[in-house]
Amino acid sequence: MKLIAAVDNNWGLGRNNRLLFHIPEDLRRFRSLTEHNTVVMGRKTLASLPGGKPLANRENIVLTRNPAFFAEGAHIATSVTQLKAMLLKEPFKTRETYLIGGAEIFAELLPYCSIALLTHILADGRADRFLPLIIAHEDWKLIARSESHFYNGLEFYYATYRNLKKASLID
Ligand SMILES: NC(=O)c1ccc[n+]([C@@H]2O[C@H](COP(=O)([O-])OP(=O)(O)OC[C@H]3O[C@@H](n4cnc5c(N)ncnc54)[C@H](OP(=O)(O)O)[C@@H]3O)[C@@H](O)[C@H]2O)c1
């Protein structure tokens, strides 16, 4: 499973259940990486998407503890254990799995991610949701970094981190 996220200077992810920045190039990159694959997200992140709808051209798995929750076009998992079992079956097992947020889901599932694909935005978005500080964690190592890109005066770059001690998704 790969984590994908955009963070600000403080490793902030979002505020008021919205993204901090909208950078078209970054959103296009997110789409091209995740399309035709599986995306796993928390129920609040689903609510933050346009129209509260799952992402097109992807298998969407939404984590919620509410067994009665329904979202058209999405698969529901009510626990990490159930998520693990689902990922071993079709249509998921032959696709790549991207963990797309938000903060609560990242914090819980970070140990199961092999790679983190982060967009670092060099700004303060005054976030109220944050990603754990991968860079300060001894299990995670920076393995690639792009040059800086710019959009509307915002500087950002892409970084790839590898988890040296990934926990198995299979018990
Ligand atoms: N910058 C980025 O790349 C990025 C990416 C994604 C999201 N975001 C931002 O992150 C924010 C949302 O993050 P968040 O932390 O508030 O919420 P979240 O992680 O998206 O969703 C939390 C919800 O997930 C469910 N959940 C959590 N752990 C679970 C478990 N073990 N089993 C079953 N369900 C579980 C619960 O849903 P129930 O309450 O229904 O039980 C919980 O309330 C927004 O601001 C969004 O824009 C940013």
Asked whether residue 103 carries a pLDDT value surpassing 50, the answer given is yes
Q: Supply φ then ψ for residue 82, to 5 degrees.
A: -65, -40
Residue nearest to atom 13 of ligand 1 (CA): 102
DSSP-based three-state secondary structure for 28: helix
| Eight-class DSSP state of 109 | H
Pocket of ligand 1 (CB under 6 A): 5-6, 13-14, 17-19, 41-45, 48, 63-66, 69, 78-80, 100-105, 108, 129
Residue 171 has pLDDT above 60, yes or no: no
CA of 143 to the centre of ligand 1 (A): 27
- pLDDT at residue number 169: 67
Q: How many other C-beta atoms are found inside a 10 Å radius of the C-beta of residue 48?
A: 17
Cα–Cα nearest to 11, from 145, 101, 111, 98: 101
**Confidence grade of residue 43 (pLDDT, cut at 50, 70, 90):** very high
Mean pLDDT of the chain: 95
Using CA atoms, how far apart are residues 18 and 161, in angstroms rounded to an integer? Answer: 25
The reported pLDDT for the residue numbered 115 is: 95
What is the best residue among 44, 82, 121 to mutate for testing ligand 1's pocket, by most ligand atoms within 8 Å of CB? Answer: 44
CA angle 162, 100, 93 (to 5 degrees): 80
Segments in the chain forming alpha helices (H): 24-34, 43-48, 80-87, 103-109
Fold held by 2-163: Dihydrofolate Reductase, subunit A (3.40.430)
Segment 123-165, tens digit of pLDDT: 999 999 999 988 778 899 999 999 999 999 999 999 999 999 8
Quick one: average pLDDT of 11-34? Answer: 98
Q: Would you kindly state where each structural domain of the chain is located, as residue ranges?
A: 2-163
